[in-house]
A = this chain, B = another copy of it.
Amino acid sequence: MGKTIRVTVWNEFRHEQNEKHEASKVYPEGMHAVIAAALAKEPDFEVRTATLDEPEHGLTEEVLANTDVLTWWGHAAHQEVQETIVERVHQRVLLDGMGIILLHSAHYSKIFKKLMGTTCSLKWREVGEKERLWIVEPGHPIATGLVDYFEVPHTEMYGERFDIPAPDTLVFVSWFQGGEVFRSGCCYHRGNGKVFYFRPGHETFPIYYQPEVQRVLINACRWAAPNGAPNPTFGNRKPLEEF
């Protein structure tokens, strides 16, 4: 309540730096810049960014130690993310309760697959069709401020079967013009941390400029913020009772 939430917006940031790529026109400063700007309007959010090509991908021990919620966008360079950084993020989620929000093509990131334990595969199509996200759990914090559904006018399609564990809570289900559906907003507890997968977003459609999408990202950061639980203690224990 009133506590500052420190968000680190991570981006692969490759498409946008390629002048020949359409992404450089839609997101000239990178998707992370647009996302970070949207989040930074919240008075209780403290937002920084980090990208793949920074040393340690911008995710040093020090940065992670000062991150309550990490948002993650990756696509073409999942394989370039170093195992040690993946491991570091994984531990930070499980042990310290850092929240993590996986965006769109991050369904195939190493960290999401490691957290889920499944292939995280899906069907896809890139023809710019319409998507309509229906709210199936309207009382959930991540649905705050939204009513019934919202639309993304042009997007890449992701379709079921999405090979993930059934979410602890399913918040959004997408309808696509081409005939598919998708579980688009999926909440998980993992270790001390919270994980949210959010489907919308793309490097060349201006989806992260949409107010409804920004609304969800803000809500998700609040929901995913750690509750301050200490590192769990495991291992050998003396009995608490005599017998």
Q: Could you tell me which A residues sit within 8 Å of B by CB distance?
A: 1-2, 44, 94-95, 97, 114-119, 121-125, 127, 129-130, 132, 134-141, 143-145, 147-148, 157, 159-163, 165-166, 168-170, 173-181, 183, 188-194, 222, 226-230, 232-241, 243
Bound: A102/B41 CA distance, A: 38
Is the Cβ of B179 less than 8 Å from the Cβ of A227? no
Q: Which of B134, B227, B241, B243 interacts with A144 by CB under 8 Å?
A: B227
**Cα(A243)–Cα(B132), bound, Å:** 15
- In the complex, chain B residues whose CB is within 8 Å of the CB of A183: 136, 173
CA A241 – CA B117 in complex, angstroms?
Answer: 33
Please pick, from B118, B174, B226, B229, the residue contacting A190 in the complex, using a CB distance under 8 A.
B118
A195 to B225, CA, bound (A): 22
B residues near A232, Cβ cutoff 8 Å: 121, 138, 161, 163
Residues in chain B near residue A138, CB distance under 8 A = 97, 161, 192, 227, 229, 232
